């Protein structure tokens, strides 16, 4: 005999946290890449009784390759499990962060979230004057005319810049194609606006068709699946630096990892700073 009040289980929504800069290496807390996310994604999509998947997203972007790899894994699992995916932007879903948001069937944001930056950027330094000032002689030997491409210790070569811009244009075209495929008729502006690299608040992103609505994860999911909906959170482990801070003396192994985490944190800080965060 079936007991009704015992058989009615509340709907379950696995929540996948995608927070941090997107980068191939695992340095620093909250780095997003396929290596760190693959197992977590698999576990989230295997939750029995799941009615949808929620992406809790907060990323200023980073590696286009890792953005594409994580995006494709999410879409493959969503298609395999026949589950709808909804993305919820916190502070920012920009550049590669918006690439990840496009893995969702619907995208939501706060009215003050930063959304967009559909473009490609490369940055470096020109250090040739620095070594000259200190009388440092640099010796580099290569085989291959392009092996010293964009060497920061040499004056900028116009041919190198043209080649870099051609590479950026290819990646930018892939990004644009993905956004058009995922957003389709929901886009409400011309390409020269949407794909200029500019970013907007959630309010403006809604008007442009880059997102589907304003709202937070809990409110939207409770409205859609009922007040009894249960959330099961899947998040990457906290970084080494945070776990180790406050512990006594550091051995050589610890110092190496501490410095690695610190460098990663500084690199991440520079990416977040582009959006005033």
Look up the CATH number of the domain holding residue 83: 3.90.226.10
Same domain, 178 and 214: no
What total number of domains does the chain contain? 2
pLDDT at residue 6, as a whole number: 47
Q: Are both 93 and 31 inside the same structural domain?
A: yes
Q: Residue 188 falls within a domain, yes or no?
A: no
Tell me the torsion sign for CA atoms 161, 162, 165, 167: negative
Whether the full predicted model's pTM is greater than 0.75, yes or no, is yes
148 shares its domain with 17: no
102 and 207 share a domain?
yes
**Bigger pLDDT: 52 or 142?**
52
Mean pLDDT in residue range 180-189: 96
Read off the pLDDT of each residue in 136-142 and give the average, rounded to a whole number: 63
Task: Please check whether residue 1 lies inside any domain of the structure.
Answer: no
Q: What pLDDT is stored for residue 5 in this prediction? A: 47
Give the residue carrying structure tokens 């092996």. Answer: 147
171 and 137, same domain (yes or no): yes
Based on DSSP, count helices (H) and strands (E) in the chain, helices before strands: 11, 8
- E strands, 46-96, in order: 53-59, 85-94
Q: Is the pLDDT of residue 88 over 80?
A: yes
Has residue 189 been placed in a domain? no
If one compares 168 and 35, the residue with the highest pLDDT of the two is 35
Residue 165: the pLDDT is: 73
Most confident of 126-130, 148-152, 225-229: 225-229
Cβ count within 10 A of residue 24:
14
Range of the domain at 237: 10-117+198-273
Tens-place pLDDT, residues 95-122? 999 999 999 999 999 999 999 988 776 6
Residues 105 and 231 both lie in one domain: yes
Both 27 and 126 in one domain: the answer is: no
Do 265 and 218 belong to one domain? yes
> Within this chain, do residues 77 and 26 fall inside the same structural domain, yes or no?
yes
Residue 192 lies in a domain: no
User: pLDDT-derived band of residue 259, with 50, 70 and 90 as boundaries?
Assistant: very low
Which pLDDT value is given to residue 206?
97
> Do both 161 and 202 map to the same domain?
no
**Least trusted range by pLDDT, from 41-50, 62-71, 156-165:** 156-165
12 has pLDDT over 70: yes
Q: pLDDT by residue (tens digit) across 191-238?
A: 999 999 899 999 999 999 999 999 999 999 999 999 999 999 999 865
Q: Are residues 208 and 239 in the same domain?
A: yes
| Mean pLDDT score across all residues of the chain | 80
* Domain co-membership, 70 together with 36: yes
């Amino acid at each position: 005999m079936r007991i009704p009040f015992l058989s009615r289980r509340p709907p379950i929504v696995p929540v996948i946290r995608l927070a941090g800069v997107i980068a191939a290496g695992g340095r620093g807390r909250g780095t997003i890449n396929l290596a760190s996310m693959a197992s977590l994604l698999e576990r989230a999509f295997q939750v029995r009784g799941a009615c949808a998947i929620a992406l809790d997203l907060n990323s200023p972007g980073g590696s286009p390759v890792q953005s594409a790899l994580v995006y494709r894994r999410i879409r493959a699992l969503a298609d395999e499990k026949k589950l709808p995916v909804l993305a919820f932007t916190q502070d920012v879903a920009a550049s590669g962060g918006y690439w990840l948001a496009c893995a969702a069937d619907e995208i939501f944001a706060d009215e003050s979230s930063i959304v967009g930056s559909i473009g490609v950027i490369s940055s470096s330094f020109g250090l040739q004057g620095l070594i000259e000032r200190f009388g440092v002689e640099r010796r580099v030997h290569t085989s291959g005319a392009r092996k010293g491409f964009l060497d920061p210790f040499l004056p900028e070569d116009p041919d190198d810049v043209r080649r870099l811009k051609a590479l950026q244009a290819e990646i930018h075209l892939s990004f644009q194609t993905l956004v058009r495929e995922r957003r389709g008729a929901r886009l409400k502006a011309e390409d020269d606006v949407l794909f200029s690299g500019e970013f907007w608040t959630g309010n403006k992103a809604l008007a442009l068709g880059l997102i589907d609505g304003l709202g937070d994860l809990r409110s939207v999911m409770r409205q859609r699946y009922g007040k009894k909906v249960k959330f099961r959170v899947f998040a990457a482990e906290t970084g080494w630096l945070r776990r180790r801070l406050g512990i006594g003396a550091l051995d050589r192994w610890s110092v190496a990892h501490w410095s690695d985490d610190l460098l990663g944190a500084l690199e991440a800080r520079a990416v977040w700073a582009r959006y005033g965060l």
